[in-house]
Amino acid sequence: MPLYESVFIARQDISASQADALADQFVELVKENGGDVPKKEYWGLKNLQYRIKKNRKGHYVLLNIEAPSAAVLEMERNMRLNEDILRYLTVRVEGLETEPSIMMRSKGGRDDRGGRGGRRGGFGDRFGGRDDRRGPRDDRGPREDRGPREDRGPKDDAGAGKPAAADKKESEGASE
């Protein structure tokens, strides 16, 4: 029998128990048509990326389904007719996962990254700062070995590499 994963988003106006009742209604519909739903997960009320039918949030529910395609088509038809369902997506999969989904695992609190999800504080890592994983910046050598700026050649910009005093002397020499 084919295997499917189906996720639907219910309106924010209904309660969590009503969203669960909707899921139970679809589970019963699949079972009546010769299928089985081994796993049902309520992911909670989450923010939507963009408004859908004037809703900013939605109740997310996952159903793992083992059923003939006719049962899935009937379930999707009922989802289209139900005014509490904003969106749904059903995908055929090779195998069903028995452990909790990623959404449920991330709900369990702190994951293996620790603290706040592996974030590092400060602006350095977001705005081109040094990344500590790259190691020390020894590629250019110590500053003392480089010499003063005026000894280095000019940059691409006109006179950007020369000191201001040298520019003044050159311009005076050219006028004489």
* Edge-to-edge strands, sheet with 36-52: 36-52, 55-66, 3-11, 85-93
CA distances from 15 to 8, 11, 43, 83, 167 (A): 15, 9, 13, 15, 74
> What pLDDT does residue 89 have?
95
Q: For tokens 């969106």, name the residue.
A: 87
> What pLDDT does residue 102 have?
80
Q: Could you tell me the domains of the chain?
A: 3-96 (3.30.70.60)
Check whether 138 has a pLDDT greater than 90. Answer: no
The secondary element (H helix, E strand) that includes residue 105 is helix 102-107
In percent, the amount of the chain with pLDDT more than 90 equals 50
Q: For tokens 């020390």, name the residue.
A: 136
**Bridge-based pairing state of the strands 85-93 and 3-11:** antiparallel
Q: What is the mean pLDDT of residues 136-158?
A: 62
Residue-wise pLDDT tens digits, 19-30: 999 999 999 999
pTM of this prediction? 0.59
Contact 36, 64 (CB under 8 A): no
Q: How confident is the model at residue 12 (pLDDT cuts 50, 70, 90)?
A: very high
Q: How confident is the model at residue 142 (pLDDT cuts 50, 70, 90)?
A: low
Residue 72 burial (C-beta neighbours within 10 Å; 0-12, 13-18, 19+): buried
Find the farthest-apart pair of alpha carbons in the chain and give their distance in angstroms, rounded.
102
CA distances from 125 to 35, 112, 129, 132, 135 (A): 50, 21, 5, 9, 14
Euclidean distance between CA atoms 60 and 58, whole angstroms: 6
Q: How confident is the model at residue 137 (pLDDT cuts 50, 70, 90)?
A: low
Q: Specify the DSSP class assigned to residue 146.
A: T
Report the mean per-residue pLDDT for the chain: 78
Residue-wise pLDDT tens digits, 37-90: 999 999 989 999 999 999 999 999 999 999 999 999 999 999 999 999 999 999
